Amino acid sequence: MDLKALQNGSDIRGIAVEHEEKIANLTPAQVGKIAVGMVHWLRDEKNLADKQQSGKLRIGIGHDSRISADSLKQALIDSFVEQNVEVIDFGLATTPAMFMATQFPQYDCDAAIMITASHLPYYFNGLKLFTKSGGAEKADIAYILEHTDGPALVAKGSVTKYSILEDYSADLTDKIRKGMKTTDEKPLAGFHIIVDAGNGAGGFFAEKVLAKLGADITGSQFLEPDGMFPNHIPNPDNKEAMASIQQAVLKSKADLGVIFDTDVDRSAVVDASGEVINRNNLIAVLATIVLAENPGSSIVTNSPTSSHLKEFIESKGGKQVRYISGYRNVINKMIELNDEGINTQLAIETSGHAAFKENYYLDDGAYVIAKILMLLPTLKKEGSTLGDLISSLKQPTETQELRFEILAGNVRDYGEQVIRDLSGFVGSQRGMKIDPENHEGIRVNVYDEYGSGWFLLRMSLHEPLLVLQVENDQAGMNQKVLEELAGFFEGYKQLDLAKLTEALGK
C-alpha cells in the first residue's frame, strides 16, 4: 500500500485492527518500514546522530492503552535495533510525557514516539513523533513516509525499559507547588477532585499527582487502561464522556472533576455545580489565568470560537488571534507571533488542545489541569469558583454544527469553490456581513432578521467535508439562517446535504 495515505497532518494514523469491513492499513509490517523513514529523517535531515559521541540515536517509545499498541511498538523496536538505534521502551505513557523524554536529562532522547490515535475508536492507532525542538511538522511526516526503503544495517542497537510516568508526575507536582508559591507537600488537602480517564492513559493523574498533593480522589472512574474503551470514548469534546464526568462530580459531591482524552494531550473540567468547562469556557478560564500573569498577551485560538469569547478576552486586556484549525497550526502561529516580538502565551483549540509558551509550546492536557489546580487555594480563600472567573462570558442561546460530505473527485477544489461562491452570495444579502478577521473558510456575522450571531463554513482538516457552524443569541434564529443558506447550497449537487435537510425538518 501507499504509506503516504497514512499521513494525518503532523501525525501518522490508520486502522490497526480489522473491524467489520475496515481493513487494517497500519500493521506491524507498515510500522517497521515507517521506522526506517524516521531514522532517515533523524540522521539525514535533523543530523542528530552526528551530535552523539557514539553516533547512535536514542529513541524513546511509549503508548496509550490501545489493544494494538504492543505489536506496533515491537515492530518499531525490531526495526530500530536493526538500524543501530538505542531504544528506551517506556510502556504505558502519555503524549506530553513522551515529549518530556527528550527534555528530562536522565533519558536525553534524541526523539520520542507516542503510539496513539487520540480519541478515535479502538481499532485505529497512530504515531506522534517528537524531537527536543518539538513535534514533527506536516512536511517532516511527508519526508518520513517517502524514505522507508534501504535501512543502514551497520550494527545492532539495544533496548532498555523505564516507566516515564513517575518522573513526569513528579515534575508536574513540583510545578504545581511552585505555581501555588508553597513548599507544602499537600497543598490540595481538603479538596475533593475526581478523575475520569476513560480507560485511556490518564489514570496516573489521580494517584501520582492529585493524591500526592493531598487531594481526596474517591469517586474517580475508569482509571484502569483498557484499549476497548468499554465505558465511553476518552474525549473531552464528546457529549457522552462529559455527561459521565458531570454525573460523577455531582454523585461524589466533588469540588472538581477532571477528564482526559486517551493520550492526555487534551482535557476539560467540571466544577462542583456540574458545570462543564470546555470549549469556549475552557479557553476563557485559561485566558484569565494567562492574562493575570502576562497582561496584554495575545491568545491564539482556532476559528470556530464564539464572538463573545473575543469580547471576553479583550475585556481582560488581551487580544484573540483566530487562526486555522489544527493543534499544530495554532501552536505554530503562537511560535511565529513570539518570534515577531508579539507576547503570546497561549494557543488553544475548542477541542481542548492547549499549549503554553512557558511549557515548551507543548499541548499537554495534564499541564492545563495543573494551571487550574494552582488557582484552587486562592479561589477557596476568596470564596469563589472557576465559574465565577468567567461569569462575564456571555453564552450563546443556540449553537449548531453540520457536516456536508463532498462527493466530487477533487474534494479541496470543489469545497473551496463553494466557499468562494458563498462569499458572493453573502455580499448580496441583507442582515449578513463577512467578518474580515478570519484565516479559515468564510465567517459571516448575522443581524436584523437573522438575530444576532455568526456562521462559519470551512473545509475539514482531514476528511472530505465542509463544516458549517452556526451560533446565535436569539432563540429560533439559527433555523432562519439555515433556511437562507439552504437556498444557496441546493445548487451544489456534489454536496451531501442530508444533515441540512434533517436540521430543517424536511
DSSP string over 327-346: HHHHHHHHHHHHHTT--EEE
Strand, coil or helix: what is 45? helix
Strand, coil or helix: what is 378? helix
Domains of the chain: 3-162 (3.40.120.10), 165-275 (3.40.120.10), 278-363 (3.40.120.10), 398-504 (3.30.310.50)
- List the one residue out of 371, 396, 379, 389 whose CA is nearest residue 313: 389
**Ramachandran angles phi, psi of 118, nearest 5°:** 55, -125
Between CA 206 and CA 196 the distance in angstroms is 9
pLDDT at residue 53, as a whole number: 60
Q: Under a CB-based contact definition with an 8 Å cutoff, are residues 225 and 190 in contact?
A: no
pLDDT at residue 49, as a whole number: 77
Between CA 478 and CA 497 the distance in angstroms is 17
pLDDT at residue 353, as a whole number: 95
Cα–Cα distances in Å, from 294 out to 269, 347, 361, 390, 396? 23, 14, 16, 18, 28
Q: Under a CB-based contact definition with an 8 Å cutoff, are residues 70 and 231 in contact?
A: no
Between CA 319 and CA 284 the distance in angstroms is 12
State in Å, rounded, how far the first CA of the chain is from the last one.
42
Between CA 50 and CA 324 the distance in angstroms is 36
pLDDT at residue 462, as a whole number: 80
Q: Under a CB-based contact definition with an 8 Å cutoff, are residues 16 and 27 in contact?
A: yes
| Alpha helices per DSSP H over 85-234 | 95-100, 138-146, 164-180, 204-205
Beta carbons within 8 Å of 380's beta carbon, 6+ residues apart: 190, 191
pLDDT at residue 153, as a whole number: 61
**Residue 288 has which C-alpha cell?**
484569565
> How long is the chain?
506
pLDDT at residue 210, as a whole number: 98
**pLDDT 10s per residue in the chain (506 long)?**
689 999 999 999 999 999 998 899 999 999 999 999 999 999 999 999 766 666 789 999 999 999 999 999 999 999 999 999 999 999 999 999 999 999 999 999 999 999 999 999 999 999 999 999 999 999 999 999 999 987 656 678 999 999 999 999 999 999 999 999 999 999 999 999 999 999 999 999 999 999 999 999 999 999 999 999 999 999 998 999 999 999 999 999 999 999 999 999 999 999 999 999 999 999 999 999 999 999 999 999 999 999 999 999 999 999 999 999 999 999 999 999 999 999 999 999 999 999 999 999 999 999 999 999 999 999 999 999 999 999 999 999 999 999 999 999 999 999 999 999 999 999 999 999 999 988 999 999 999 999 999 999 999 988 899 999 999 999 999 999 999 999 999 999 999 999 999 999 87
The DSSP bridge partners found for residue 268 are 259
Mode of pairing for the β-strands spanning 256-260 and 267-271? antiparallel
pLDDT at residue 15, as a whole number: 97
Q: Under a CB-based contact definition with an 8 Å cutoff, are residues 442 and 436 in contact?
A: no
Between CA 9 and CA 233 the distance in angstroms is 22
* Residue 157: burial class (beta carbons within 10 Å; 0-12, 13-18, 19+): buried
C-alpha 63: how far from chain center: 16
For 190-273, strand residue ranges (E) read 193-196, 256-260, 267-271
**For 322, how many CA atoms within 13 A lie in the half-sphere containing its CB?**
21
Q: Return the sign of the alpha-carbon dihedral for residues 351, 136, 32, 81.
A: negative
